[in-house]
Amino acid sequence: MIDRSAFHKLSSGLYIVCTESHDKFYGCVINTLLQLTSKPFQVSIALNKENATTQAVQESGRFTASVVDETMKLETIGHFGFKSSRDIDKFADSEYAVSASALPYIEKHCCAWFSCKVVNSIDVGTHILFIGEVEESATLDGGHPMTYEFYHSVKGGKTPPKASAYTGEDDEAQKGSAASAQETSSDDGAKKYGWRCKVCGYIVEMDELPDNYLCPVCGAGKDMFERIEL
């Protein structure tokens, strides 16, 4: 048997991976960066084949990875983690720096960054595992690195369906909370309504959303929320 909760015991950090291809910048969030060797310095990252960033890394043969610290807002993580570079320019309104190899990387609310040249890649089914040799790296002024555990338990963050760590349990938890809310509402006979973010699935219990409401997980605006009965 496979106990999905066992995967929650694996500790990892959160990283923003960026690259450039055909004069366009790409970026996404992963929790799958690992140091492999120190002679030479090599790291691995796993990227979902459906991510626009994955194809861009294949084309450019290079990527940067910034280590997210605990101060990074969910909106920033959501901006890079829950939206597609096919749909938006993730760097249009984002502060970023540029590596010696002309790749973008995120400095703000990150505590270190790496720039890598792809030296090998392995097809692992839904994802491609890229092995990168580190060409440049530095620490930044950020605080403690954000662990995936901290992202979930303290920040209340969600796991996107295309992430390696996705198990579908966020969705089940949301259905569970909606079901228990329904039980409560049936007690007093009054229906409860809320709003669900169509980008990341976040549910907020509120009668009406303010016009300037932004999803606390992915940063999507009010127009991306659908009204649901709880």
Residue 34 identity (one-letter amino acid)? L
Structure tokens at 205: 């219990």
Q: Is 106 in the site for Fe ion (CB under 5 A)?
A: no
Q: Is 77 in the site for Fe ion (CB under 5 A)?
A: no
Q: Is 118 in the site for Fe ion (CB under 5 A)?
A: no
Closest CA to 209 of 186, 226, 184: 226
Q: Which is nearer to Fe ion, 62 or 90 (CB)?
A: 90
What is the helix (H) or strand (E) element at residue 75, kind and residue range? helix 74-81
CA–CA dist 167, 46 (Å, integer): 16
Least Å from the CB of residue 230 to Fe ion? 17
Q: Which is nearer to Fe ion, 77 or 116 (CB)?
A: 77
Residues 165-204 that bind Fe ion (CB under 5 A): 197, 199-200, 202
Q: Which is nearer to Fe ion, 125 or 210 (CB)?
A: 210
Q: Which is nearer to Fe ion, 47 or 74 (CB)?
A: 74
Give the CA distances from residue 107 to residues 88, 92, 154, 175, in Å, rounded to whole numbers and listed in that order. 20, 15, 22, 36
Q: Is 116 in the site for Fe ion (CB under 5 A)?
A: no
What is the helix (H) or strand (E) element at residue 195, kind and residue range? strand 193-197
Residues lying near Fe ion in the complex (CB under 5 A) are found at 197, 199-200, 202, 215, 217-218, 220
